[in-house]
Amino acid sequence: MTFDSILALIENDELESAIETLKSVHRNTNKYKDVVLVSAWYNEFHHNANIGALSYEQTVMEKNRLRRSLLELLPEEKPEGINTALAQEPIATGTGTGTTVSSLSKYIKQVKLKLFEGPDVCPPIGERQYGTSFPRAATRYIWWEIEVICLPPTEDLPFDLTFFYYDEKGNVLGGKGYHYPMRYPAGQTVWLYWWGWGYVNPGNWSAGKYRIEVYADQYQLASANFELS
């Protein structure tokens, strides 16, 4: 099975199939024992999840750890070009901090962006109710949660994380974008981050359609539309 086929199993949460495939791939390599250890870890996790011994947040965190471990066991074969469906056009002058597309972009395999409503203090993962349509009268902050799956870089990759909230007329909410210096660690395969914008008290959003865009330097990681009604 190819590099991309095994990666697809991991991305689709078919972890048991990915483990069995990796056992076949590494049966005669020094990584086979690592796959066996991950297999035992997965069986224990699966048992604990089935009997309700893990909270939702613990389940998500443990699954992400398993996925990181499996990504590190992918065969050495890598596609020559890592293509993504994400836009790579530079953002408007003055909204980004870099002059070139982020060095992180060439490692990216998949990006997931989810939205949820909450107070000005971000709720724990297990309490987040994801969606794209929110009641205006009850909405405070609209938070975004981004998960980036990468081939593991060989060195730390600094980048500026920038995000914008737009109304349906294209106006930037708050009158500006927001950017923060970040560092993607060497060897890491999954990166999870979240941030939000809004109001402490509900009822301040206008009804309508909105859009969020998230960038690493001048590379668009993801975007999402949502609606207040």
Query: What are the pLDDT tens digits along the chain (229 aa)?
Result: 567 788 888 877 788 898 999 988 888 888 888 888 888 888 888 887 787 777 766 777 777 778 878 887 887 654 333 332 222 222 322 233 333 457 888 899 889 999 999 998 888 888 899 999 999 999 999 999 999 998 888 899 998 888 999 999 888 987 667 878 888 888 888 888 899 999 999 999 999 999 999 999 888 999 999 999 9
- Does one domain contain both 52 and 11? yes
In this predicted structure, what is the pLDDT of residue 115?
A: 97
The tokens for 114 are 């989810």
In this predicted structure, what is the pLDDT of residue 101?
A: 56
Beta strand 190-198 with 178-184 is unpaired
- Does one domain contain both 64 and 128? no
Last residue of a domain, one of 50, 73, 96: 73
* Residue 76 backbone dihedrals phi, psi, to 5 degrees: -65, -25
- Does one domain contain both 214 and 109? yes
- Does one domain contain both 65 and 126? no
Domain span holding position 185: 105-228
- Does one domain contain both 158 and 219? yes
- Does one domain contain both 113 and 61? no
- Does one domain contain both 40 and 120? no
153 located within any domain: yes
193 located within any domain: yes
Domain count along the chain: 2
In this predicted structure, what is the pLDDT of residue 77?
A: 52
Cβ 108 vs Cβ 147: under 8 Å: no
- Does one domain contain both 192 and 139? yes
In this predicted structure, what is the pLDDT of residue 56?
A: 67
Q: Phi-psi region for residue 160, left (φ > 0), alpha (ψ -120 to 50) or beta?
A: beta
- Does one domain contain both 63 and 131? no
CATH code of 158's domain: 2.60.40.3880
Cβ 165 vs Cβ 172: under 8 Å: yes
